Amino acid sequence: MKALPPNLRPIPLRVRPAPFEPAYGLLGRLAVRHGYSASRAFVADMAFGIADFVHELECGRRLAELACLAGLAKATIAASTMVTDQAGILWIGMERVDVAANHRAVSAAGRVCPCCLRIDLETRDGPEVCRPHRRIWWDLTGVVSCPVHGVLLLDVCPNCGSSPSRVPTSPRHCRCGHDLAGLATLPLDDADLMADRYLVGRLGGVGASAHPLFDRMPLHDAALAMLRIGRAGLLGARGLPFRKDITEPALWAKMASIGFREAAPNES
């Protein structure tokens, strides 16, 4: 393991770690706590000499440095961050996400659940700007909804039309400044939430449910398998080309949830 940079010290103002918050989300809230509107500017001013520290955290590296900075245990941060091991396997905590670490499991868009953001503002303590926090499953390709609130994740800012970034200082605001907390996104039928409830349940975000087949697969493989089975169930073998599913999150949620049920015929 690399030695920590000698000028890296715990910073005086801290934030309480939030459940299921990835490392880059925590860094963003630390930046906000110190009055910054960009994580990169915050890191640059601390000048502890790690090139592109934000990107390193996005890739699950340099967690020891963030732990030192934030005054937290590295294990606390690693439990909710995507980390690739020496064998190339992508993990979140104890959960195997993908055995092919080609980033296909990681969503490039910084999707958010506007309901989660509003609940953070209402229920968390500390300075209001530091309350909204990311959930690691917002950044998984295989998850398209928030099973807690029963809505699709917001993937496009209604003000500027771009995807929110994965690494803003606060997930509450788009790069254009638009407030995303409490915005309306499409509510899903309970039956169409089944797939994401299962996937997020594996990460501990909602109550866990067992599945005889998907439990044996890495998380991302399970997400794709249920999607493919559901597509065949809904449309037959000549259904939509696979790429088309990916552009329609509501259809993705429906197909994946059908796949979840079809692959477990003995369950309701």
Residues in touch with Zn ion (CB under 5 A)? 113, 115-116, 146, 148-149, 157, 159-160, 174, 176, 178
- Helix runs in 3-155, H state only: 23-33, 39-46, 53-58, 63-70, 74-78, 114-123
Closest to Zn ion by CB, 137 or 260: 137
Q: Which residues contact 29 (CB under 8 A, 6 or more apart)?
A: 15, 18, 21, 130, 133, 169, 170
Minimal distance in Å, beta carbon 112 to Zn ion? Answer: 9
Closest to Zn ion by CB, 69 or 141: 141
Minimal distance in Å, beta carbon 187 to Zn ion? Answer: 11
CA distance 70 to 256: 38
145 forms bridges with which residues in the sheet? 152
Minimal distance in Å, beta carbon 57 to Zn ion? Answer: 23
**What Rg do the C-alpha atoms of the chain give, in angstroms?**
19
SS3 call for 106:
strand
Closest to Zn ion by CB, 154 or 226: 154
Closest alpha carbon to 175 in 59, 38, 41, 22: 38
Burial of 102 (0-12, 13-18, 19+ CB in 10 A): exposed
Minimal distance in Å, beta carbon 113 to Zn ion? Answer: 3
Minimal distance in Å, beta carbon 160 to Zn ion? Answer: 3
Helix (H), strand (E) at residue 246: helix 242-247
Closest to Zn ion by CB, 37 or 159: 159
Q: Which residues contact 177 (CB under 8 A, 6 or more apart)?
A: none
Minimal distance in Å, beta carbon 102 to Zn ion? Answer: 28
Handedness of CA 166, 172, 177, 178 (dihedral sign): positive
Closest to Zn ion by CB, 115 or 263: 115
Minimal distance in Å, beta carbon 34 to Zn ion? Answer: 24
Closest to Zn ion by CB, 57 or 181: 181
Closest to Zn ion by CB, 57 or 153: 153
Q: Are 158 and 43 a contacting pair, CB within 8 Å?
A: no
Closest to Zn ion by CB, 179 or 267: 179
Q: Which two tokens stand for residue 246?
A: 């990916």
Minimal distance in Å, beta carbon 10 to Zn ion? Answer: 32
CA distance 109 to 195: 20
